[in-house]
Amino acid sequence: MDLIVRNTRLACDTPPVDIGVAAGRIVAIGPNLHAEAREVFDAGGCLACAGLCETHIHLEKSRIMAQCAAEDGRAANAMARVSAAKLAMRPEDIAARARATLERCIENGTTRMRAQVEVDAKIGLRGYEAVKQLARDYAWAIDIEICVFPQEGLTNNPRSAALMREVLRDGVRAVGAAPDFDPDPAGQIRMVFDMAREFDVEIDLHLDNGNTAERMDIIQVCDLTEQYGWGERVAVGHMCKLSVLPPEALRPLARRIADAGVAVTVLPATDLFMMGRDQTHSVRRGVADVAVLAECGVCCSLSTNNVLNPFTPYGDGSLVRMANLQANINQLSRDEDLAALFAMLTDNSARLMNLPDYGLKIGNPADIVIMDASSPAQIVAELRPPLAAFKRGVRTLSRPRPILHPPETV
């Protein structure tokens, strides 16, 4: 074998096992594997997973706080501030910023990613070209899939429509939308479903941002998902409006979303930062409750979205931090609830992205991340980091534990 990861756990309540790897794939899982390997890694009883999956992130517009006007008062105006900075973005600048953010994600144990990339008259294809190149450069550590979308309108923006079709012809496998920024939101959603059918690609939409439950686009998305036969191929991100619904309205809607085969990505850092700007005190959280959605059968994932830009002026690429933040916002404390949040960074996210070869199973690519914890709940509660990561059986990350240096005792 090429690699054996010894003494690791696949779940918190199962005995330790070894994972054997040959030619980039998992070939054996079991206790005390009797085999020789070129490399042996002792996981010390820590938990293994197939890596974290980032289902929704904007690499090309990360790290631009210095290029944007400062926030003025309670109105965030993030869209206008980012839009104004886009014309001046140069390919080298985009690549350097996107690379820095991507490396933070890899350092935090992410092995799969869907990057949202916008195309329009202002940024043209510069963001797309940069992320596409980055995907090639970092294929040793992470699989990056691009979702192309129109941030600045589509029904009123033929340039965006033309550029989206151009990158879909170039092989991009997912198409998105931002109907809140279109004069005809329903028209934009229809256009995107038509593009998905024409190019046979997945759909991943920015949807239902807002402080009230008025005009919920999710109804139209569920209807179209069924009409087009696109169940299990549609995801929606944000869904802040779900957070203002009382349980008697939320639960039937959540069951409708689940039945249609639409998955939901909650982006707690952005949603918490952007929502409730109409209030001066007792500011509502504006973050959808993933525990209730999951209870109603919705496939939920948690992701990073924006990093160090006007939509979210923070970020370290840690998905575990997103799960911890979500737990805090949704007031979740039971071990099973925290473990469910970890699944929203791993198995559920892979399901949302339709990644059939994800997971620690014989035959799958040997993407193995050792987390410094004995259980998924501990990872989320204590923000436990990865100790090591392997992509297709090759070591990509070492993250040694900190060492304390107490004064010497005599």
Q: State the minimum distance, in angstroms, from the CB of residue 245 to Zn ion.
A: 22
Helices and strands, counts by H and E, the chain: 13, 16
Q: What number of chain residues touch Zn ion (CB under 5 A)? A: 2
Q: Single out the segment in contact with Zn ion by CB under 5 A; choices: 59-67, 128-136, 197-205, 298-306.
A: 298-306
Helix residue spans in 275-374 (DSSP H): 290-295, 319-330, 335-343, 347-352
Min CB(344)–Zn ion separation in Å = 17
- Judged by beta carbon, residue 290 or residue 368, the one nearer Zn ion is 290
Q: How far is the CB of 306 from Zn ion (least distance, A)?
A: 7
User: Are the C-beta atoms of residues 338 and 376 closer than 8 Å to each other?
Assistant: yes
Q: Which of residues 371-410 bind Zn ion (CB under 5 A)?
A: none
Instruction: Please state the closest distance from residue 314 (CB atom) to Zn ion, in A.
Output: 15
For Zn ion, give the closer residue by CB, 6 or 104. 104
User: What's the min distance (Å) between Cβ of 165 and Zn ion?
Assistant: 21
The pairing of strands 368-371 and 3-8 is unpaired
Point out which span in 45-53, 108-116, 192-200, 361-369 binds Zn ion (CB under 5 A). Answer: 108-116
Written as six digits, the tokens of 11 are 């779940």
Cβ proximity to Zn ion: between 67 and 305 the closer is 305
CB of 61 to Zn ion, least distance (A): 9
Do residues 372 and 44 touch, judged by C-beta distance below 8 A?
no
H/E run at residue 382: helix 376-382
Quick one: which of 305, 309, 312, 326 contacts Zn ion (CB under 5 A)? 305
Q: Which is nearer to Zn ion, 225 or 305 (CB)?
A: 305
The residues with which 22 forms a beta bridge, in sequence order, are 25
Nearer CB in complex with Zn ion: 3/345: 345
Q: Side chain identity at 384, as an amino acid letter?
A: R
Q: Per the structure block, which two tokens stand in for 350?
A: 């892979």
Looking at residue 146, its amino acid is I
Distance CA 139, CA 128 (A): 16
Of 46 and 134, CB closest to Zn ion: 134
Binding mask of the shown chain, residues 229 to 268, with x at each position contacting Zn ion by CB under 5 A? ----------------------------------------
Say how far apart CA 147 and CA 167 lie, in whole Å: 10
Segment contacting Zn ion (CB under 5 A): 47-55, 191-199, 227-235, 303-311?
303-311
Nearer to Zn ion, 305 or 348 (CB): 305
Q: Which residues contact 129 (CB under 8 A, 6 or more apart)?
A: 91
Stretch that binds Zn ion, among 86-94, 193-201, 299-307, 314-322 (CB under 5 A): 299-307
Q: In the structure encoding, which two tokens stand for residue 175, read together?
A: 């198409």
User: Which residue has its beta carbon closest to Zn ion?
Assistant: 305
The interface region with Zn ion, picked from 76-84, 118-126, 180-188, 304-312 by CB under 5 A, is: 304-312
Q: Compute the least distance from the CB of residue 254 to Zn ion, in Å.
A: 21
Beta partners for 146? 115
**Residue 6 backbone dihedrals phi, psi, to 5 degrees:** -100, 150
- List the x/- string, 109-138, binding to Zn ion by CB under 5 A: -------x----------------------
Sheet holding 174-177, edge to edge: 52-57, 110-118, 143-149, 174-177, 202-207, 234-238, 262-266, 300-302
CB of 384 to Zn ion, least distance (A): 27
Which of 212, 214, 211, 256 lies closest to 236 in space, CA to CA? 256
Name residue, tokens 């409708």: 256
In angstroms, give the least distance from the CB of 328 to Zn ion. Answer: 21
Of 111 and 305, nearer to Zn ion (C-beta) is 305
Contact residues toward Zn ion (CB under 5 A) are 116, 305
